A and B are shown apart, each in its own frame.
Chain A
Amino acid sequence: MSEAVLSQISGPVLRARRRGDFFINEAVAIGERRLLGEVIRIEGEEIVVQVYEDTSGLRPGVPVIGSELPLAIRVGPALLGRIFDGLLRPLSMDIGYYVRPGLSELAPCTFYFEPQVEVGHVLPHGGVFGRILADSAREQRALLAPNIGGRVISIAPSGDIRDDEMVCELETESGERHRVAVSHYWSVRKGRPVAERLLAEQPLLTGQRILDSLFPVARGGKAALPGGFGTGKTVLQESLAKWCDADVIVYVGCGERGNEMAGVLHEFPELEDPRTGRPLMERTVIIANTSNMPVAAREASIYTGLTVAEYFRDQGLHVALMADSTSRWAEALREVSGRLGELPGEGGYPAYLSSRLADFYERAARVTTLGGDEGSLTLIGAVSPPSGDFSEPVTTHTKRYVRCFWALDQSRAQSRFFPAVHPLTSYSEDVEDLTPWWEREGNTEWPRIRRRFLTLVEQQAHIERMARIIGKDALPPKQRLTLLAAELVSDGFLRQSSFSLTDRYCSPARQTAMMRLIDRFITLAEKAVEQEIDIERIQKMAILRRLRRMGEELGDNQLAHYKLLGTRLEAEFAHLVGEAGRAG
């Protein structure tokens, strides 16, 4: 093992005089407490190391020991349901009330293992060799590391095993022998290879109407969520983590609040996955580097999250990774870059910010795994632009690489209109790919109604500008109806509180029902206006209030009531038109 001796330290970056060879990205242990670091530069006899923990107390002369391995994490069946720091070291109550330097990785756990291959069987790289069963988590697969494959020489029988125990022996084509466990190490800096990247064809259903129905993201897609402070990034990310139809959620709390992480930990075990009935925590992995934890580890936390997410994808699962916030990660890049004396670019960020963002979002995909299954990784990144100004570097670069842009709007948030996703500044490039899916689900008119809603909101903005000049009272009835209709779309469809028990999740079937009702109301109201029925009378229709509140009042277990609402809607309009006919 190579050794070096610390020669210079300031903040989280140190230099050490090396004896022996080190390589870039090699993990090192520093001093008695074996603080974790990574080699980020080699300059002749000196190495430069980024330290992932508080460096207080370090001094020249302290040993820096190479691990001969890249900075890597151990992925395996024990990850689900737990919270880790940015380098995948567990943060349970066991470590005490405070995070101290020198944490250690997760201790081995025991699982029930069932082999799925026999001696003689030839496994592809990254292939599946067994199943892992646990009481409190979903069934998982025992995977080979993506760089290992070969003929099975021995395999353990069914039974309890430790996740670091060698349960299978392989011989590669070249005759090399490997013994493997159900968990393995993988570099956090290296994407896990796949057999093939596939086109998107199914939405990641989020249960949020404004996303699923207006700006859908595909499984394997990539979305950004920019917004100033208090616009609802975190609440929306958490809602997605709770209700989206992924099999596994990796939630990366990157440089944000400790209380938010704690909130997830308190809440998720109590909530049920609407699809499986199991506690949500069982499908969730949390990676937390809160804003007061070491900055260098913040930079690593995103890659740790990606590696964990790809590991689950490789099991043939649909995985969604939420990163809150990618801006803190970019700032960590900036800080470390500054300490290395690199030339600052735009906004002080290093010139490679853009390519790092590109690499990050590029890892989202629907794939055929090495083992031959279909899996996907959807990436959803929050962006925190200074002063809520979307023209800053992180937002603008992010926009180039994502397909869905969910722009959060300050003034909506201030009037407590949530989610504050602005329908006019947001977009999704996945719409076309996903239209067939909605049609198959029975929402045959999805593209038309979607367009109609968006057009209304756009016209509303236009008419309101005009009303500022001529006064609302002077608007012709048709335009006043447009305002009414747009408000109905906003209030009755787009607004959805994450804290409402009935409305925090909205199934596709309910979204379809709500969309149709509002669409129908608008059609009938337009007809009524054409028949010169006074707009004020439409405004006073009792059904209107029911439509504006249906999201909160009629949950997913009351789908039949939406039919009744439809009947009422027809009846009220018939009455209105009839009355007008009699009067005229």
Chain B
Amino acid sequence: MRGNLYASGNITRIDGPLIFLKRSVNVGLNEAVAVIGQDGQARTGRIAALDEEYMTVEVLESTEGLSLSNTRVRFTGRTPHFDVGPGILGRIFDGIGRVRDGGPPVPAEHSLRIDGMAINPAARGKPSDFIETGITTIDLMNSLVRGQKLPIFSGGGLPHDRIAVQIAGRARLRGQEAGDFALVFVGIGVPHHTAESFRRAMENSGALEHTVMFLNHASESSTQRLLTPRFALTAAEYLAFVEGRHVLVIMTDMTNYCEALREVSASHGEIPSRKGYPGYMYSDLAALYERAGTLRDHPGSLTQLPILTMPSDDISHPIPDLTGYITEGQIVLDRELDRKGIYPPVKVLPSLSRLMKDGTGEGYTDPDHPALASQIYAAYARAAQVRVLASVVGEEGLPAVDRQYLGFGDAFETAIIHQEDSRTLEESMAAAWKLLNMLPRDELSRLSDAQIERHLTA
């Protein structure tokens, strides 16, 4: 065991987050180390490169105060691990898995690699358990299922936190296995009050004892931010696949994570890709998001609800763009709807749930659910087109049908997107059927005659 091995006095260079030292110990790549400065404080690091003479340690926290002579490095002999056990529920940790709530340390039953391991695709289950969030634009139009990774693409000042809390509350209530539920909240570079208001919301709903929190504050080192979701997902995997719970992981704000990635990459002198973000950002994010899922013939599930703020509300920015390429859809929030007072301000056209097809329809929700969602999408997209036209030629220049679409579009926003209270899926569907009455039957080509017969009033 190299657990107690130290190296000191061998440091030849400190450059940003990197420490170069003589290779006096036989360590392996990616092994975790603790870097201890004069202050006696241990900073987490890992072996980033090795050659016959030297080793490079990447310090994952601030290197402030470290000097060549007074720094010691302790080797752990293995890649970074996190000690977990049933005691983690109800607890608060910092961004690198240290207890932050003043309580006693958590008794460890398992020690798990924070990088996790790639799930064997042949061993994945097929996520298909519908989660009713109470939000029509999600339940009816972009359904969430257990084991999915469905991010919220938001913007500064938009009510993404409120939506996340709402989903967390409902996801817990659904199904008979409510007791097997757990929530992991991951604050990445978030201000104190975001974390605190989330904690309070969980407390009020009585879910705090099912919740684990990982908090990396905005004031803390950005390199730690890269570790925060890794510690949190390790805890989530433990709860999901060792304890067999249905785990919902809320990660906010992934944009801070990506900024940290850019910063660290730059300090390594790597050649940047788009907008300065590293070329491997896709793979790096995928290593986090792919940790969602279910396992074949195995209890438990890990659902991810990452939140990111789109820089300048731009969905084509590399952060939302790469995320959208990895996750199983996205819920996009819109500033204009928000300004109109519509809550939740979900911009439905660019929103998507890729796993909806596996968890809705016959045998899952309502047999007519997929067709209804498709029809609503088609009609609202058409309404959006007509709006553009009307803004140029005025409503008078429109044929009668197009004017009906305009009315439909407005009603859709105020009666379907907007909701004061949660709706059951049945309530959401009923509201949508009702709305379709505004359009001529001939227009409803995504619905069968029977569906029209069944659900629309004559």
Interface residues of A (CB under 8 A from B): 7-10, 15, 55-61, 83, 91-93, 95-100, 228-230, 253, 255, 257-259, 261-263, 265-266, 288, 290-293, 295, 328, 331, 334-335, 338, 344, 347-348, 384, 386-389, 411, 414-417, 467-474, 491, 497, 499, 539-540, 544-545, 548-549, 552-553
CB-based closest 7 A-B pairs: A471-B397, A415-B381, A291-B286, A387-B316, A10-B49, A262-B124, A261-B121
Q: List 16 A-B contacts (CB under 8 A).
A: A9-B29, A57-B29, A57-B79, A59-B29, A59-B50, A92-B122, A97-B241, A257-B328, A335-B279, A387-B316, A417-B381, A468-B388, A468-B393, A469-B392, A469-B393, A472-B402
Please state if A291 and B290 are interface contacts (CB–CB under 8 Å): yes
Please state if A472 and B354 are interface contacts (CB–CB under 8 Å): no
Please state if A60 and B50 are interface contacts (CB–CB under 8 Å): yes
Please state if A384 and B325 are interface contacts (CB–CB under 8 Å): yes
The residue on B at minimum CB distance from A103 is B120
Please state if B392 and A59 are interface contacts (CB–CB under 8 Å): no
The residue on B at minimum CB distance from A327 is B325
A295: B residues at CB distance < 8 A: 280, 283
Please state if B349 and A415 are interface contacts (CB–CB under 8 Å): yes
A228: B residues at CB distance < 8 A: 324
Stretch at the interface among B66-74, B93-101, B210-218, B370-378: B370-378
9 further contact pairs, Cβ within 8 A, besides A60-B52, A348-B273, A468-B388 = A8-B50, A56-B28, A91-B121, A230-B329, A258-B293, A292-B283, A386-B322, A472-B389, A548-B445
The residue on A at minimum CB distance from B354 is A230
Does B9 have its Cβ within 8 Å of any Cβ on chain A? no
Query: In the assembly, what is the distance between CA of A471 and CA of B396, in Å?
Result: 8
Does B458 have its Cβ within 8 Å of any Cβ on chain A? no
A61: B residues at CB distance < 8 A: 26, 52
- Contact residue among B27, B48, B115, B389 (Cβ-Cβ distance under 8 Å from A59): B27
Query: In the assembly, what is the distance between CA of A579 and CA of B448, in Å?
Result: 29
The residue on A at minimum CB distance from B47 is A59
Query: In the assembly, what is the distance between CA of A295 and CA of B282, in Å?
Result: 11
Query: In the assembly, what is the distance between CA of A165 and CA of B259, in Å?
Result: 56
A334: B residues at CB distance < 8 A: 273, 279
Does B178 have its Cβ within 8 Å of any Cβ on chain A? no
Query: In the assembly, what is the distance between CA of A101 and CA of B387, in Å?
Result: 55
The number of chain B residues touching the other chain, given as a range, is 35 or more
B126-153 Cβ-contact flags toward A at 8 Å (1 or 0): 1100000000000000000001000000
For chain B, residues 75 to 121, give those with C-beta under 8 angstroms from any C-beta of chain A. Answer: 79, 115, 117-121
Query: In the assembly, what is the distance between CA of A263 and CA of B56, in Å?
Result: 41
The residue on B at minimum CB distance from A15 is B51
- Contact residue among B282, B328, B380 (Cβ-Cβ distance under 8 Å from A328): B282
Please state if A471 and B442 are interface contacts (CB–CB under 8 Å): no
Query: In the assembly, what is the distance between CA of A261 and CA of B121, in Å?
Result: 6
Whether A416 contacts B121 in the complex (CB less than 8 A), given A10-B50, A553-B448, comes out as no
Most-contacted residue by chain A among B328, B396, B397 (CB, 10 A): B397
The residue on B at minimum CB distance from A295 is B283
Say whether chain B's binding surface is mostly helix, strand, loop, or mixed: mixed
Please state if B117 and A10 are interface contacts (CB–CB under 8 Å): no
Query: In the assembly, what is the distance between CA of A389 and CA of B317, in Å?
Result: 12
B161: A residues at CB distance < 8 A: none
Please state if B354 and A468 are interface contacts (CB–CB under 8 Å): no
Please state if B52 and A331 are interface contacts (CB–CB under 8 Å): no
The residue on B at minimum CB distance from A231 is B352
Smallest CB–CB gap between A310 and chain B, Å?
A: 24
Query: In the assembly, what is the distance between CA of A388 and CA of B270, in Å?
Result: 25
Query: In the assembly, what is the distance between CA of A23 and CA of B290, in Å?
Result: 36
B347-384 Cβ-contact flags toward A at 8 Å (1 or 0): 00110101101100000000000100110011011100
A15: B residues at CB distance < 8 A: 51
Please state if A93 and B122 are interface contacts (CB–CB under 8 Å): yes
Query: In the assembly, what is the distance between CA of A57 and CA of B120, in Å?
Result: 21
Most-contacted residue by chain A among B26, B120, B358, B442 (CB, 10 A): B120
For chain B, residues 287 to 315, give those with C-beta under 8 angstroms from any C-beta of chain A. Answer: 287, 290-291, 293, 295-296, 298
Whether A59 contacts B393 in the complex (CB less than 8 A), given A10-B50, A259-B328, A539-B442, comes out as no
Query: In the assembly, what is the distance between CA of A411 and CA of B30, in Å?
Result: 44
Please state if A388 and B121 are interface contacts (CB–CB under 8 Å): no
Please state if B442 and A544 are interface contacts (CB–CB under 8 Å): yes
Please state if A471 and B118 are interface contacts (CB–CB under 8 Å): no
Please state if A338 and B370 are interface contacts (CB–CB under 8 Å): no
- Contact residue among B29, B50, B118 (Cβ-Cβ distance under 8 Å from A290): B118
Please state if A331 and B321 are interface contacts (CB–CB under 8 Å): no
Query: In the assembly, what is the distance between CA of A540 and CA of B401, in Å?
Result: 12
The residue on B at minimum CB distance from A230 is B352
Please state if B271 and A344 are interface contacts (CB–CB under 8 Å): yes
Query: In the assembly, what is the distance between CA of A295 and CA of B284, in Å?
Result: 10
B282: A residues at CB distance < 8 A: 255, 291, 328, 331
Query: In the assembly, what is the distance between CA of A253 and CA of B123, in Å?
Result: 16
Does B399 have its Cβ within 8 Å of any Cβ on chain A? yes
Please state if B28 and A59 are interface contacts (CB–CB under 8 Å): yes
Does B415 have its Cβ within 8 Å of any Cβ on chain A? no
A96: B residues at CB distance < 8 A: 120, 123
Whether A288 contacts B121 in the complex (CB less than 8 A), given A57-B31, A414-B381, comes out as yes
Please state if A8 and B290 are interface contacts (CB–CB under 8 Å): no
Please state if A292 and B328 are interface contacts (CB–CB under 8 Å): no
Please state if A470 and B393 are interface contacts (CB–CB under 8 Å): yes
Most-contacted residue by chain A among B28, B49, B122, B374 (CB, 10 A): B122
Query: In the assembly, what is the distance between CA of A100 and CA of B56, in Å?
Result: 25
Query: In the assembly, what is the distance between CA of A245 and CA of B269, in Å?
Result: 50
Please state if B321 and A387 are interface contacts (CB–CB under 8 Å): yes
Query: In the assembly, what is the distance between CA of A499 and CA of B369, in Å?
Result: 13
For chain B, residues 258 to 291, give those with C-beta under 8 angstroms from any C-beta of chain A. Answer: 270-274, 279-280, 282-283, 286-287, 290-291
B51: A residues at CB distance < 8 A: 7-9, 15, 60
Smallest CB–CB gap between A450 and chain B, Å?
A: 23
- Contact residue among B30, B298, B322, B378 (Cβ-Cβ distance under 8 Å from A417): B378
Please state if A338 and B399 are interface contacts (CB–CB under 8 Å): no
Whether A229 contacts B321 in the complex (CB less than 8 A), given A98-B120, A259-B328, comes out as yes
Query: In the assembly, what is the distance between CA of A238 and CA of B54, in Å?
Result: 49
Query: In the assembly, what is the distance between CA of A61 and CA of B23, in Å?
Result: 12
Does B438 have its Cβ within 8 Å of any Cβ on chain A? no
Whether A93 contacts B321 in the complex (CB less than 8 A), given A230-B354, A259-B124, comes out as no
B321: A residues at CB distance < 8 A: 229, 386-387
Query: In the assembly, what is the distance between CA of A338 and CA of B353, in Å?
Result: 35
Does B398 have its Cβ within 8 Å of any Cβ on chain A? yes
Smallest CB–CB gap between B387 and chain A, Å?
A: 12
B330: A residues at CB distance < 8 A: 230
A229: B residues at CB distance < 8 A: 321, 324-325
Most-contacted residue by chain A among B121, B126, B147, B273 (CB, 10 A): B121
A548: B residues at CB distance < 8 A: 445
Whether A99 contacts B442 in the complex (CB less than 8 A), given A57-B30, A263-B126, comes out as no
Please state if A467 and B389 are interface contacts (CB–CB under 8 Å): yes
Whether A8 contacts B49 in the complex (CB less than 8 A), given A92-B122, A472-B398, comes out as yes
B24-62 Cβ-contact flags toward A at 8 Å (1 or 0): 001111110000000000000000111110001000000
The residue on A at minimum CB distance from B283 is A295
Please state if A388 and B316 are interface contacts (CB–CB under 8 Å): yes
Query: In the assembly, what is the distance between CA of A277 and CA of B393, in Å?
Result: 56
Does B155 have its Cβ within 8 Å of any Cβ on chain A? no
Please state if B279 and A262 are interface contacts (CB–CB under 8 Å): no
Query: In the assembly, what is the distance between CA of A549 and CA of B374, in Å?
Result: 14
The residue on A at minimum CB distance from B401 is A539
